[in-house]
Amino acid sequence: MLITTTIQKIFWNAILCVVGLLVSCVAVQTPEGGPPDETPPMLIRTVPENGSLNFKGKKITLTFDKDIAVENIYSKLRVMPQLEKPKNQQAYRYEVRGRTLKIMLNAPLKEDTTYSMHFNDVVKDTHEGTKATNAVLTFSTGSFIDPITAKGRIKDLLTNKPVGDVHVCLYNAERDPKEWNNKGKGEPDYYTTSDQEGNFSIERIRLGRYYIRAMTGKTHTGEIDYEKERYGFLRDPIDLTESREDIVVPLVAADVRDFKLLRVAPQKGFCAIVLNKAVKTYAAAPLQVVGTNMQLYSFVDPTAPKTVLVYNTLGMLEGDDFELKLTAEDALHVLLEEHVTIRFKEGKQDIKRLTHSLKSRPISSIIPRFRETISFNKPITKVVASLVYFEGKHQEKIGLAKEELRWNATKTQLTIKKNFSEEELKKFTTTKKEGKGTHTTMQRSIALKMDAGACIAFDQEQNKPIDSSYVLREEAETGTIAGTIETEHGCFRIELLNENDEVVDSIRNQKNYQFKMVPPGTYAIRILVLQEGKKEWSPGNIRNNLEPDPVFFYDKPISVVEAWDITGIDFKF
DSSP string, 103-137: EEESSPPPTT-EEEEE-TT-EEETTT-PBP-S-EE
Cis peptide before 36 (omega within 30 of 0): no
Q: What is the pLDDT of residue 4?
A: 46
pTM: 0.83
List the Cα angle 447/452/457 in 5-degree steps: 120
**Cα dihedral 159→163→169→174 (10° resolution):** 20
CB 122 within 8 A of CB 73: yes
* Positive or negative: CA dihedral 514, 520, 524, 529: negative
CB 221 within 8 A of CB 143: no
490 class by beta-carbon count within 10 Å (0-12 exposed, 13-18 middle, 19+ buried): exposed
What is the DSSP pairing of strand 571-572 with strand 479-486?
A: parallel
Rounded CA separation 65/470 (Å): 70
List 249's β-bridge partners, or say none.
Answer: 154
List 512's β-bridge partners, or say none.
Answer: 484
Of 45, 40, 217, whose CA–CA distance to 120 is shortest? 40
List 433's β-bridge partners, or say none.
Answer: 441
What is the DSSP pairing of strand 123-125 with strand 68-70?
A: antiparallel
Q: What is the pLDDT of residue 1?
A: 43
Task: Give the mean pLDDT per block of 10 residues along the chain (573 residues).
Answer: 46 48 43 69 93 95 94 88 85 94 94 90 88 86 95 98 95 84 74 94 94 87 89 96 97 96 94 96 87 80 93 87 95 95 85 90 93 95 95 91 93 95 92 66 90 94 96 94 96 97 96 97 98 91 94 97 96 96
CB 132 within 8 A of CB 121: yes
159 class by beta-carbon count within 10 Å (0-12 exposed, 13-18 middle, 19+ buried): middle
Strand order from edge to edge, sheet including 148-156? 199-205, 148-156, 244-251
Q: What is the pLDDT of residue 19?
A: 42
* Positive or negative: CA dihedral 526, 531, 535, 541: negative
DSSP string, 142-207: SSS---EEEEEEEEETTT--B--S-EEEEEETTS-HHHHHSTT----SEEEE--TTSEEEEEEEPS
Q: What is the pLDDT of residue 432?
A: 75
Q: What is the pLDDT of residue 22?
A: 41
Q: What is the pLDDT of residue 121?
A: 84
